[in-house]
Amino acid sequence: MPEPLLEVRGLKTRFSVEGGAVMAVDGVSFAIPAGGTLGVVGESGCGKSVTALSVMRLVPDPPGQVVGGEIRFQGRNLLALSEEEMRRVRGNHLAMVFQEPMTSLNPVYRVGEQIGEPLRLHQGLDRKRARLRAVEMLRQVGIPAPEQRVDAYPHQLSGGMRQRVMIAMALACGPQLLIADEPTTALDVTIQAQILDLLKRLQAERGMAVMLITHDLGVVAESCDAVVVMYAGRVVEQAPVKALFARPAHPYTAGLLRSIPSFQEVEAGGERKRLRAIPGMVPSLRRLPGGCRFRERCDRALEVCAQVDPLLELKREGQSAACHNPVPAP
């Protein structure tokens, strides 16, 4: 088997909080092949974004710190690199699109200057060549009249255009891996579809790998090859996307899939059935239950679940879950 482009092994990221510390990412492992797409899903606060920031080595220190594991990119452990070496990797080979472009784009600089900055930093382009390249990147991401938009400030653009600018910035230097953290948050449905189609087109054209962080399982079904499901800082299931949707093994994954609205839920009288929500709340990282972290919300919990923390183990071909009583295959 070829070596994965990105391989994360036993990643642990801790944050210092009042009264102690919490492990926001606790032993997370996954791999992404060259050109592949991995979806990372889970409820808010499960550790998806912290995992992405850890891979990029952008966790604010203090209060955060990567305290264990390995992040191997093209065979090199990123955690062993100096900050100067990591800066050469970040942007040039690894890039990230953040959730909210208005907090990621600098409001006092024109978008062309912001797209051109990594080109000047990593590829040594002068300002004129960087500007020409910024215009070309705006054209590639589908922004109309790029020769004029290159001089616009972020507040002069719509939400969808700002997200396209973020994608143009991330892809300016031709990275091998793009991490997209909730790239369609706060956008209307039509613009969401456009952004996702744009990412798929650019990925196909450039042959890059994508790590897509989202809470939308519909997006995962359409865009990803494999899925990592996270809960309370840990991976609870990993599977190829088709296997996960056809036969989820972990009760949490099954609960997420049951909560997706569908046309089949409309009854004969035209009335819609109530959505089947997962009961309870995600536990606080400061007060995690003993044993399985999901057991207090699980309808398949056994006595052993309160006593023994389940390991992520292969349950079916290509599908692993951290569960003592997995959902049986249909």
Running DSSP on this structure, what letter comes out for residue 207? T
Q: Answer yes or no: is 329 within a domain.
A: no
Is residue 66 domain-shared with residue 178, that is, in the same domain? Answer: yes
Q: Are residues 23 and 94 in the same domain?
A: yes
Residue 117, pLDDT > 50, answer yes
Assess contact for 161 and 155: CB atoms under 8 A.
Answer: no
327 within a domain of the structure (yes/no): no
The b/e string for 16-30 (b: 16+ C-beta within 10 A; e otherwise) is eeeeeebbbbbbbbb
| Contact indicator for 189, 132 with CB cutoff of 8 Å | no
Q: CB of 173 within 8 A of CB of 130?
A: no
Give the structural domain span for 237. Answer: 231-263+275-321
How much of the chain exceeds pLDDT 90, in percent? Answer: 73
237 in the same domain as 183: no
pLDDT of residue 52: 96
Statement to judge: residues 214 and 240 lie in one domain: no
Over 70: is that where the pLDDT of 322 sits?
yes
Same domain, 283 and 202: no
Shared domain for 236 and 220, answered yes or no, is no
End-to-end CA distance of the chain: 31
Q: Are 48 and 17 contained in the same domain? A: yes
pLDDT tens profile 182-238:
888 777 888 888 888 999 999 999 999 999 999 888 889 989 999 999 999 999 999
- Is 158 contained in some domain? yes
Residues 2-23: what's their mean pLDDT? 91
Cβ atoms of residues 160 and 211 within 8 Å: no
Domain count, the chain: 2
CATH of residue 182: 3.40.50.300
Q: Residue holding tokens 């808010």? A: 44
Indicate the SS3 state at residue 304. Answer: helix
Domain boundary among 163, 197, 224: 224
Q: What is the pLDDT of residue 320?
A: 96
- Flag whether 330 is in a domain: no
In a domain, residue 155? The reply is yes
Q: Per the domain annotation, does 269 fall within a domain?
A: no
Of residues 183 and 302, more confidently modeled: 302
Do 173 and 303 belong together in one domain?
no
Residue 155 three-state SS: helix
Asked if 41 and 185 sit in the same domain, the reply is: yes
The pLDDT confidence band at residue 45, using thresholds 50, 70 and 90, is: confident
Indicate whether 242 and 141 sit together in one domain: no
If asked whether residues 212 and 257 sit together in one domain, one would say no
What does the DSSP 8-state code read for residue 298? -
pLDDT at 263 exceeding the cut of 70:
no
Residues 6 or more apart whose CB falls under 8 angstroms from that of 209 comprise: 5, 6, 32, 33, 34, 35, 36, 37, 38, 176, 177, 178, 203
Q: Cα–Cα distance between 120 and 143 in angstroms, integer?
A: 22
User: Does 165 reside within a domain?
Assistant: yes
Structural element, H or E, at residue 218: helix 217-223
Mean pLDDT, range 38-55, rounded to an integer: 94
The dihedral formed by the CA atoms of 122, 123, 126 and 131, expressed in degrees to the nearest 10: -90
- Residue 294 neighbours by CB distance under 10 Å: 26
Residue 110 placed within a domain? yes
Specify whether 43 is located in the same domain as 166. Answer: yes
Predicted structure pTM score? 0.91
